[in-house]
Amino acid sequence: MADEIAKRLLLTLRQELRWNMHGYNTDPAKTQSYRTVLNSKDKEKDEDGWQSMLKACHQRCAHRTLRVLEQNGSIFIKLGQHLSSMNYLLPVEWTRTFIPLQDHCPESSYEAIEQMFIDDTGQPIAAHFDNFDRHPIGAASLAQVHLATMKDTGAKVAVKVQHPALKVWVPLDLALTRLTFSTLRYFFPEYDLEWLSNEMELSLPQELDFALEGKNALVTREYFKMIKDSPLLVPDVYWARKRILVMEYIAGHRTDDLAYLDSNGIDRDEVSAALARIFNEMIFGDTPLHCDPHGGNIAIRRNDMRTRHNFDIILYDHGLYRDIPLQMRRNYAKLWLAVIDADEKGMRQYAHEVAGVTDDQFPLFASAITGRDYRAVTTSVVSTRSEEEKEVVSGAMGDGMLQELVQLLGQVPRIVLLILKTNDL
């Protein structure tokens, strides 16, 4: 075990530091580090050429980091999932590269799962189910899901089982995550992301408690049953232990499976609007917020029995929820009303109330939460985005704003960051 721990530690540090800080290949064209590219800006006369260099550097380092996360597995994949949804912070080359981590992860063996059942329930798998598929239908960073048939009722269920090795590796992996971000801060003090590892240390114990996840799922299920015409489905929960969760089996397709939507006559705009209503209800209503809404946790299926929509939206993975204080819900609502009204004074007031944003930080914060140039935010955020504005926003991260945004997000309350994850659904 000591050898494995040492090997894992060295693998993480060597690859992360060597690849992303100093380059990995001896070919100069392939080893441009961020430091080299950023320092070359003043020397590069061709702005378009420098932007191309920066985008290539983003893509190169994103692919290298993806390999590191995949090789280390466990919570490093969970970290990659978080990063894949941080469109408000990271360049598209990073978020797009990490999308496969949302639903393509390593699997645990059937034998390891069988032993975990015995350890946690005192009985083998066969004592609980008539049929249990040995191969999972999906594997994520913390768990995998098997189809099974309940022994007492014959119901078809989805059995979510935690990767058994996490019990050993999570404490070490959290320490490695802290070390990785502190090392990043040492080399690049202007890009302090230690708040991300702090958030993981707080959220991971909740996500690893499947009994808590079962309770969260039932709360959300009952809440949305009361909302007329809501297309949201949350699978029912049959029973749960800390590392095992047995749920109703409801299958669907990813919401970005456009071929499925189009072939089934499901309107893309309706799906987008329905998702917005669902998560707005969690943010502004009277129920906790699902804080891990990436593409692997949301599915859609056709349903012609509904009156308002012809589809169901299925929400999985209820391990990470947070309660939003009532006053913050109200202030956040007032912030968006001010945005809609182009009320700059109101925006500044409620940006400070919600996130402690100062007047100097406000233009950057406003652009980050809306994805619009600050001038558009203060005139009409509902106006059509011009090609010029798109170029301004996409190029801003290379002009020092990424550094400022990282510093800003390190100061805002963690619940605000979790709310922002819903912005790009």
pLDDT digits (tens, 9 = 90+) for 16-73: 444 444 433 433 433 445 666 666 666 666 667 777 877 888 888 888 888 877 776 6
pLDDT given for residue 397 in this prediction: 52
Hunting for tokens 């993975």 — which residue is that? 317
253 token code pair: 């397709």
pLDDT in tens, 303-355: 999 989 999 999 999 999 999 999 999 999 999 999 999 999 999 999 999 99
Give the whole-angstrom CA distance, residue 307 versus residue 129. 37
Give the whole-angstrom CA distance, residue 152 versus residue 157. 12
CB 116 within 8 A of CB 161: yes
CB 161 within 8 A of CB 146: yes
pLDDT given for residue 3 in this prediction: 43
Confidence of residue 7 (pLDDT cuts 50, 70, 90): very low
Percent of the chain with pLDDT over 90: 47
Give the DSSP H/E element, type plus range, for residue 149: strand 143-150
pLDDT of 425 over the 70 cut:
no
DSSP state of 393: H
Catalytic (active-site) positions: 292
DSSP state of 20: I
56 token code pair: 């290539």
Give the whole-angstrom CA distance, residue 310 versus residue 303. 5
CB atoms within 10 A of CB 350: 22
Give the whole-angstrom CA distance, residue 387 versus residue 58. 22
Hunting for tokens 């945004």 — which residue is that? 405
156 token code pair: 């078809």
Task: Give the list of residues 6+ apart from residue 237 with CB closer than 8 angstroms, or none.
Answer: 214, 217, 218, 245, 246, 247, 248
Torsion sign, CA atoms 283, 287, 289, 294:
negative
Task: Give the list of residues 6+ apart from residue 307 with CB closer than 8 angstroms, or none.
Answer: 229
Task: Give the list of residues 6+ apart from residue 140 with CB closer than 8 angstroms, or none.
Answer: 77, 81, 103, 105, 296, 317
DSSP state of 75: H
Instruction: Spell out where 124-201 has E strands.
Output: 129-132, 138-139, 143-150, 156-162
DSSP state of 392: H
Task: Give the list of residues 6+ apart from residue 95 with CB closer than 8 angstroms, or none.
Answer: 83, 84, 85, 86, 87
Dump the DSSP string for 255-283: TT-HHHHHHTT--HHHHHHHHHHHHHHHH
pLDDT given for residue 387 in this prediction: 73
